[in-house]
Structure 1
Amino acid sequence: MSKIVSIHSYRGGTGKSNLTANIATAIACQGNRVGIVDTDIQSPGIHVLFGLDEKQIELTLNEFLWGNCAIADAAYDVTYVLKNQTNPRSSIYLVPSSVKLNDISRILRERFDVELLLKGFKDLIENLKLDYLFIDTHPGLNQETLISLTTSDTVLLVLRPDQQDFQGTAVTVDVASKLQVPELLIMVNKALRDYDFQDLRKKVEQTYQIPVIGIIPESENLLRFASSGIFYLSYPNDPISLTLEVVATKIIS
């Protein structure tokens, strides 16, 4: 049975898209067919991590929402990033949003059919025979986010150990609880290395009554690597990659 996972943060700058790409890749490496939809329509960018050049992208989520194509036609096979992975079933498909200013302005101005997006998620799962569909959401709470939360089996909330993030995440947790999201999880990103991670985990879990499935420290390797690819694949033995692997396993289980 397929599973829909939304990865969300209340504020921008948490590394949400980077985590989405890396966790989805880690799950694909375990022999799964994985899809990713970039619903961060206002500021898309996850395609960069998979090496998709703007010139290669003809159809996008925007075109699907305007009724110009089927959502599967806007799905790009980016399995090539796996390179030396040996499981023949492992695959990754990405539906990007348009980075063109006119397209972004139009989708924000005209909005779109909510039911069509929900149908698109289901069609993508069916047509590509996906085991997991990841939704990279727009930060904050808007129409797209609420749709994603409503349709998800799992919502992974990403926050930094910052007071504003703590307050914003509390709002998101409250909304998700009212929407009766089946599974809520938390991941802390960009934690300073001198933090007591065990104490930080305890504090976050006590605050939200939600399990923390991973804490990612600030990393020079990660900062230097930036958006040049999938960190999990390039640095498989890095402690961050090992944490990502644990997170992937917990989502699967």
Structure 2
Amino acid sequence: MSPIITIHASHRNVGKSFLTANLAVLLAKQGHRVSIIELDFISELPMLFGLDPVDLAQQWTALQQPGNILPEAAWLSVGEGAIALLAGGGKEVHPVSGFSLVEQLQSQPQANRLGEDLTRLIPHLNADYILLETFPGFNEEGFLAFALADVLVFVLNLNAQDYQDTAVFIDLAQRLQVDQIALIANQVLPEVNAEQLVASLINTYNMPVWGALTAVKPVEHSAYPNLLCQAHPNHPFSQGLQQITAKLLELRP
């Protein structure tokens, strides 16, 4: 079974989509087929890959029909690998009480449409890795994606609200018995000591911290095929993400 990596954040503007796009490219450059399933209907991912959100939504619908598979034309070649982006997010995302949803998922784990859709979809993707990019914050689709994850990655910025929300998210994920949880600090200013920050986060949450990624300037937010990790592999952000990619490569034999 392809590892499912759910990528979540407590709010917008933490750089989650940019991180996901570059991470997918780095995995693909290692020769893997990477499917990104976008559950956030206002994500930047379609723009970053130059794809039409309407086409992506139609493709998602078609894949729910018995016997349909993802056509090779949907895959973007990246090095020896490839990337496919699917849009699964609806236009209504319902805020929920995280703890009440945990109880619901534990008592009726197959009773949600998103879970059923993904269960049908994933075997037909022929992907080595599945990246689930969630709608940020406390909402139903996000917590359902928690429950499906082999690895749950929380992306946070350095502010009090993110620190507090991340603690709650970790508690919820542990109640859902997620196999592996990791943290990534994103948009870290260059003057911050990354090693000290990582040590502080580990001490605060008692969770693995996969990296502290340097802030990227708006002018560096280029789209595929000139994403930052492609155009500037020696950029501190790219190098930090390469280390995170190495951790994901360990998930497969």
Same fold (TM over 0.5): yes
Separation of aligned partners in 1, 2:173 and 2:46: 27
Matched residue type, 2:82: S
Match of 2:14, SS? coil
Aligned to 2:40: 40
CA distance in 2, matches of 1:169, 1:40: 19
The whole-number CA distance in structure 2 between the counterparts of 1:71 and 1:203 is: 48
CA distance in 2, matches of 1:192, 1:7: 22
- Alpha-carbon distance in 1 for matches of 2:163, 2:57: 39
Which residue of the partner structure matches residue 206 of structure 2?
209
- C-alpha spacing 1:147/1:59, structure 2 compared with 1 (3 Å): same
Change (3 A) 1:57 1:251: closer
What is the CA-CA distance between 1:38 and the residue it aligns to? 0.7
Aligned counterparts, 1:1-253, within 5 A: 1-41=1-41, 43-54=42-53, 57=56, 59=58, 61=60, 63=61, 72=69, 77-80=74-77, 82=78, 85=79, 87=80, 90-97=81-88, 104=91, 107-108=92-93, 115-220=112-217, 223-229=218-224, 230-253=227-250
Q: Which consecutive unaligned segments of at least 5 residues does structure 1 have?
A: none
Instruction: List gaps (5 residues or longer) in structure 2.
Output: 95-109
119-128 or 155-164: bigger deviation: 119-128
Using the TM superposition, give the Cα deviation of residue 13 of structure 1 relative to its aligned residue in structure 2, in angstroms.
Answer: 1.0
In 2, are the aligned partners of 1:25 and 1:92 still within 8 Å (CA)?
Answer: yes
Query: Which moved further from structure 2: 143-152 or 117-126?
Result: 117-126
% identical aligned pairs? 29
Which amino acid is the alignment partner of residue 49 of structure 2? F
What do residues 116-147 of structure 1 show as CA deviations (whole Å, max 9, x unaligned)?
Answer: 32233233331122111100001112110111
TM-score, scaled relative to structure 1? 0.82
Amino acid at match of 2:22: N
Amino acid at match of 2:165: G
Contact 2:57 2:87 in 1 (8 A): no
What is the Cα deviation at residue 44 of structure 1?
A: 3.0
Count, aligned residues = 233
RMSD of the TM alignment (CA)? 2.7
User: Does structure 2 retain, via aligned residues, the 8 Å contact 1:137–1:144?
Assistant: yes
Q: TM-score, normalised by structure 2?
A: 0.82
Deviation at 1:252, TM superposition (A): 2.2
In the aligned structure 2, how far is the partner of 1:212 from the partner of 1:170? Answer: 14
